[in-house]
């Protein structure tokens, strides 16, 4: 015979609803904080506002959708080991200080189109071990300092069209599920490809096609 019917655990269901509500509220708070930061960092803001010189540390943070296009930052931006659960837009962003995305996880589309990474005297852009589950757009980006993508994983479409690397760039151990698009991309520093092989310019400052992957492309 079938066992006795049991009533639903109302307390358990209520706990789930409360947990979801708290998570949604926390997400909205984080989105608001990021929006306020992005507004104050907008390059149209006065240079002496004080915001552009600050350091921002999001190490290990769980971040929702990020809209920080057209920001200008002279201080350090550190999102190492952070998790981005929504779309990330740093279109036309300018990082004059170090930009750290070491071990970061990007769950959806990520846009660094036309972004500028100069890094000043403290280094350039660090994407070592980063995971891009969605499309990764670096088309038209400018990397003036040393740039590292060692061990990074690109699962979606990857676009470096028109990107410029004037410093060194390393992709040692990086993996591309799809062939990266690199049309008109150039590099004048030292390049370490995905297989660890190094490539030097024949003359100092010589620009040559940027080809980070050992996988052939058309």
- Segments making up each domain of the chain, as ranges: 11-209
Closest of 176, 173, 174, 204 to residue 190, by C-alpha = 204
Q: How far apart are CA 137 and CA 139, in angstroms?
A: 6
pLDDT level of residue 20 (50, 70, 90 thresholds): low
Structural tokens at position 29: 């708070």
Rounded to two decimals, the pTM is 0.83
Structural tokens at position 61: 């943070």
SS3 16: helix
**Between β-strands 105-106 and 83-84, what pairing exists: parallel, antiparallel or unpaired?**
parallel
pLDDT value, residue 38? 86
Average pLDDT over residues 117-121: 75
> Among 22-26, 69-73, 177-181, where is mean pLDDT lowest?
22-26
Which has more confidence, 205 or 173? 173
Average pLDDT over residues 41-45: 87
Average pLDDT over residues 75-79: 94
pLDDT value, residue 217? 38
pLDDT value, residue 12? 80
């Amino acid at each position: 015979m079938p066992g006795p019917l049991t009533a639903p655990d109302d307390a358990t269901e209520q706990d789930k609803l409360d947990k979801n509500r708290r998570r949604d509220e926390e997400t909205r708070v984080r989105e608001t904080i990021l929006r306020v930061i992005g507004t104050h960092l907008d390059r149209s803001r006065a240079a002496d506002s004080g915001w552009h010189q600050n350091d921002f540390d999001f190490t290990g943070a769980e971040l929702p959708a990020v809209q920080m296009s057209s920001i200008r930052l002279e201080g350090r931006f550190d999102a190492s080991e952070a998790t981005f659960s929504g779309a990330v837009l740093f279109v036309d962003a300018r990082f004059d200080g170090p930009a750290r995305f070491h071990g970061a996880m990007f769950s959806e589309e990520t846009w660094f189109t036309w972004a500028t990474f100069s890094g000043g005297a403290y280094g350039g852009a660090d994407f070592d071990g980063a995971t891009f589950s969605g499309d990764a757009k670096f088309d038209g980006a400018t990397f003036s300092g040393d740039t590292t993508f060692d061990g990074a994983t690109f699962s979606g479409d990857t676009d470096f069209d028109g990107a410029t690397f004037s410093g060194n760039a390393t992709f040692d151990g990086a993996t591309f599920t799809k062939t990266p698009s690199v049309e008109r991309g150039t590099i004048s520093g030292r390049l370490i490809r995905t297989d660890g092989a190094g490539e030097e310019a024949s003359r100092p400052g010589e620009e040559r096609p940027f080809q980070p992957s050992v996988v052939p492309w058309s």
